[in-house]
Amino acid sequence: MQSTTNGHASPAGHAAAGTPLPDEFDVRILRQDAPDEASYWERHRVRREPDMNVISVLQRIAAQAKTVEGERVAPVAWDCNCLEEVCGACTMVVNGHVRQACTALVDRLLADNPDEIELRPMEKFPVVRDLVVNRRRLFRALEKLKTWIPVDGYYDAGPGPRVSQEAQQEAYPLSECMSCGCCLDACPQYQKIELARREGETDAEFAHREQEAFDTRFVGAHAISQVMLFNRHPTGALSAGERLDLLMEAGGIQDCGNAQNCVAVCPKKIPLTTSIGRAGRATVVRAISKWFGR
């Protein structure tokens, strides 16, 4: 089951209170060789070093490429880039919590559970291999909802609109969304879509079919929040109505069940439920005014 609490919650220095940390520890990983294959657990043992995070653990495992039982195996596949929680690549389920692996510090994980660290891929996205998942759907939602400023062009046209400090401070946190997908993995309304390529289907045909599937299912909290970011920007507001209309189509805001799991797991602490609340009210107003022909 997906937990709703954020793995960062455990206090720093927790380790000091309990038993001393072990010199080495086990990592249990849910592996899967390819999309259509069955998953299986595998156990690795890693020596503890100072300042380790789950990424450095996976790096050690890749270098060893050997299980606890001594069997030689292919290195575990995983996704990462920045290693400082700004790129959104390394999302996975660590000890039952969906989160960024790069900020999952080993000493804290062991302080909470000295026996082992458990790694699983995200649940709501199709597994590509091991801990790597396909998150194309997440980016498709941003295309669908047109979350950008539709400027006239890129020639010089002077500065942008003036923005109050207050407005900037409200927009900035929303603009920190790194498309990691934690909010989607934790959301009960966001269901996995996994399509297999049909016999003889071309790249383009498959992409088209996939897009249709994505576009009728829930867009998710991150995308709703992006809509509010752009709708509240002075230039973005000029096309706010269009985004709201798109947000009322199938898979739009009405699919949100208000479970608030999303906001609890967002590593960037983005006020997602505030955005969802605002989007909800804005779409209602929009629907009513359209009903009355204006």
Summarize as ranges the residues that interact with ligand FES (CB under 6 A).
80-83, 85, 87-90, 100, 102
Among the listed residues 26, 67, 87, 248, the single contact to another protein using CB under 8 A? 87
Among residues 213 and 259, whose Cβ is nearest to ligand SF4? 259
Which pair of structure tokens corresponds to residue 238? Answer: 């000029």
User: Which residues are 277's β-sheet partners?
Assistant: none
Q: Which stretch binds another protein (CB under 8 A): 38-46, 70-78, 248-256, 286-294?
A: 70-78
3-state class of 228 per DSSP? helix
| Residues within window 195-254 making contact with another protein, judged by CB under 8 A | 230, 233, 235-236
Phi-psi region of 108 (alpha: psi -120 to 50; beta: other; left: phi over 0): alpha
* CA pair distance 107, 26, nearest whole angstrom: 13
Question: In the bound complex, what is the minimum distance in angstroms from residue 276's beta carbon to ligand SF4?
Answer: 6
- Contacting residues toward ligand SF4, per CB under 6 A: 177-183, 187-189, 221-222, 225, 256-262, 266, 268, 270, 272-273, 276
Q: Which does 275 bind (CB under 5 to 8 A by kind): ligand SF4, ligand FES, another protein, none?
A: none
Q: Which stretch binds another protein (CB under 8 A): 67-75, 114-122, 242-250, 252-260?
A: 67-75
Q: Does residue 23 interact with another protein by CB under 8 A?
A: no
Nearest alpha-carbon partner for 45 in 61, 26, 59, 66: 26
Which pair of structure tokens corresponds to residue 179? Answer: 């498309």
* CA pair distance 91, 132, nearest whole angstrom: 9
Q: Which does 182 bind (CB under 5 to 8 A by kind): ligand FES, another protein, ligand SF4, none?
A: ligand SF4
* CA pair distance 155, 157, nearest whole angstrom: 6
* CA pair distance 90, 121, nearest whole angstrom: 10
Which pair of structure tokens corresponds to residue 17? Answer: 């209170």
Among residues 124 and 233, whose Cβ is nearest to ligand SF4? 124
Question: In the bound complex, what is the minimum distance in angstroms from residue 154's beta carbon to another protein?
Answer: 6
Among the listed residues 21, 142, 240, 259, the single contact to another protein using CB under 8 A? 142
* CA pair distance 211, 284, nearest whole angstrom: 27
Q: Which does 284 bind (CB under 5 to 8 A by kind): ligand SF4, another protein, ligand FES, none?
A: none
* CA pair distance 47, 29, nearest whole angstrom: 16
Q: Does residue 39 interact with another protein by CB under 8 A?
A: no
Q: Does residue 179 interact with another protein by CB under 8 A?
A: yes
CA distances from 226 to 232, 277, 278 (A): 10, 13, 12
* CA pair distance 274, 67, nearest whole angstrom: 46
Among residues 191 and 289, whose Cβ is nearest to ligand SF4? 191
Among residues 53 and 147, whose Cβ is nearest to ligand FES? 53
